[in-house]
Amino acid sequence: MTIERILEVIKSKHPETDLTMVALAYEVAEKAHAGQKRASGEDYVQHPLETAYKLAEMDIDIPTVIAGLLHDVPEETSHTIEEIKKDFGREIADMVAGITKLGTIKYRGLERYAENLRKMFVAMAEDVRVVFIKFADRIHNLKTLYALRPVKQQRIAKETLEIYAPIANRLGMNELQNEMEDLAFPYVYPEEYKWTVEISKKQYEERERDAETVIKKIKQVLKESGLNDFDIYGRAKHYYSLYLKLLRKEMDIDRIYDLVALRIIVKTTDECYRVLGLIHSLSKPMTGRVKDYIAQPKPNGYQSLHTTVYYDNKIVEFQIRTKEMEAEAEWGIAAHWSFKERSGRHAKIPVDPEKLKWIKTLLKQGDEVRKPEEYLDKLKMDFFKSRIFVFTPKGDVIDLPEGSTPIDFAYHIHTYIGDHATAAKINGKLETLSAKLKSGDMVELTVDKKRTRPAEEWLEFVQTNLAKEKIRQALKKNEGLSGIFKFFNN
């Protein structure tokens, strides 16, 4: 990596920007780290360069890129924070100090780990950009993990999956979350990683070929309908998220429809719906797979239209969104720090403070909880709060929203089981069909073949849309039948 490449990336997006300070920061970093080597054998300065490059790619503001270049200077060299403050000002010095504070506690047991985390949230609460630098730093550390001792590899990779990736997810930073997960995956679960790569290899190749054909056709259709300014490309699913999804789909890769998803990026929200209409007029959508996350965004702010269609005997998933939605989907909260040029000056889109409130809440919890294990448990619970993981008697994992019941579980396994469910056992104990499931529960359902229809009152307690839909469908079908019976009886 070179400083020139970083400057080029910024210039290509913002030609008018003055990059003197970025170049200067590089000079300072290079001098300070002179003679130092990384465990991988590279010159140390490669590490801050790679970190800054990632930040430039994210299109984050200039002070953050500069802080990225300087992030290891106070900790690893004799150059001090005071000197950075003198040369680059308080904003940058504070960010570097935030990162440095995070680095000083090394992992030695659970207690320090929890303390380290707390520090991370303190730093984030002060300036959330510090965590962007930490992510960029972590990504390069993961890329050079091979050079470290196995114990350290495990520690860093695990910490990435358990803490960093969920924080990135919480901040809506999918691109970084996926990248961190895929880099850590082979270290934490080597067998599962190999298996996932193996099982998906042939499918990826096939679907990528299919995608090309479909892209050609869709391009033509969109152009014919007068749309010219759009972008369409195939996007392969990341291995770690594929692995998690396979866990939920009985390890059946044929049920993963977004292995290669097609993304269409347009200019306006109106155009998103127009494109959806065009796709549906061309090919039949799959039931229950049309999702409007524009009208109803996901909790982390994700917006997009999704649909899965049958096209030419193939199943293809589309994700349709505007450029702004795309930036938000990939970079999440970081997108608000990218600078937009308005009349020659840089202005940031303000972040809704509500979106960052959870950081302060987590901090407060840390004050209340004394034991580090409890704090860690609380953190994990909070990140995964919205989902629960329950088991089938065979040990398969089903991922459901919080508050789900045995009926939700039943319909997620099979419509037949849902329609004919009569009793549920949770962890071997008989429970009502409306009982609330908890993570780790093992659920077993009894079905009655003679049962003709699901109960209408199930609609009052089921949590998932899937269950609601299936129940309504079954009730409708039944209404039709009973109407006919009535006719004959009369």
Binding site for Mn ion (CB under 5 A): 72, 137
Scored b (16 or more CB within 10 A) or e, 242-256 reads bbebbebbeeebeeb
How does DSSP classify residue 399?
E
Q: In angstroms, what is the minimal distance from the CB of 407 to Mn ion?
A: 49
Q: How far is the CB of 336 from Mn ion (least distance, A)?
A: 24
Rg (CA), the chain: 26
Q: Measure the CA–CA gap between 8 and 1, rounded to whole angstroms.
A: 12
- Identity of the residue, 137 or 159, whose beta carbon is nearer to Mn ion in the bound complex: 137
Among residues 137 and 441, whose Cβ is nearest to Mn ion? Answer: 137
Residue number, nearest CB to Mn ion: 137
- Minimum distance of Mn ion from residue 72's CB (angstroms): 5
- Residue 467: CB atoms within 10 A of its CB come to 25
Which tokens go with 50? 């790679």
Q: Give the nearest distance from C-beta 140 to Mn ion in angstroms.
A: 7
Neighbours of 432 (CB within 10 A): 12
Nearer to Mn ion, 81 or 247 (CB): 81
Say what angle helices 3-13 and 20-32 make with each other, to 10 degrees. Answer: 160
CB of 47 to Mn ion, least distance (A): 6
Nearer to Mn ion, 48 or 63 (CB): 48
Closer Cβ to Mn ion, 118 or 138, answer by number: 138
User: Closest approach of Cβ 60 to Mn ion, in Å?
Assistant: 16
Return the number of the residue (72 or 210) whose C-beta is nearest Mn ion. 72
The structure tokens 């009569």 sit at 422
User: Nearest distance from residue 90's CB to Mn ion, in Å?
Assistant: 22
Q: Beta strand pairing status for 340-342 and 305-311?
A: unpaired
- The token duo for 368 is 């209340």
Distance CA 442, CA 450 (A): 25
- Decide if 403 contacts 414 (C-beta within 8 A): no
Q: Which CB atom, from 137 or from 181, has the smaller least distance to Mn ion?
A: 137
**How many whole angstroms separate alpha carbon 123 and alpha carbon 128?**
7
Q: Report the C-alpha gap between 41 and 146 in whole angstroms.
A: 12
Interatomic CA distance for residues 176 and 183, integer angstroms: 11
CB of 288 to Mn ion, least distance (A): 45
Give the residue with the Cβ less far from Mn ion, 75 or 162. 75
Q: How far is CA 224 from the centre of its chain?
A: 35
User: Which CB atom, from 61 or from 72, has the smaller least distance to Mn ion?
Assistant: 72
Strands 231-236 and 284-285, bridge-based pairing: unpaired
CA 243/CA 196 separation, integer angstroms:
6
What token pair was written down for 490?
A: 């009369």
CA distance 75 to 48: 13
Q: Which amino acid is at 296?
A: Q
Q: How far is the CB of 22 from Mn ion (least distance, A)?
A: 18
- In one letter, which amino acid is 302? Y
User: What's the closest the beta carbon of residue 73 comes to Mn ion, in angstroms?
Assistant: 10
Amino acid at 308: T
Cβ-based nearer residue to Mn ion, 59 or 72: 72
* Minimum distance of Mn ion from residue 136's CB (angstroms): 9
Residue number with CB closer to Mn ion (153 or 283): 153
Of 246, 243, 222, 247, nearest in space to 232 by CA:
222
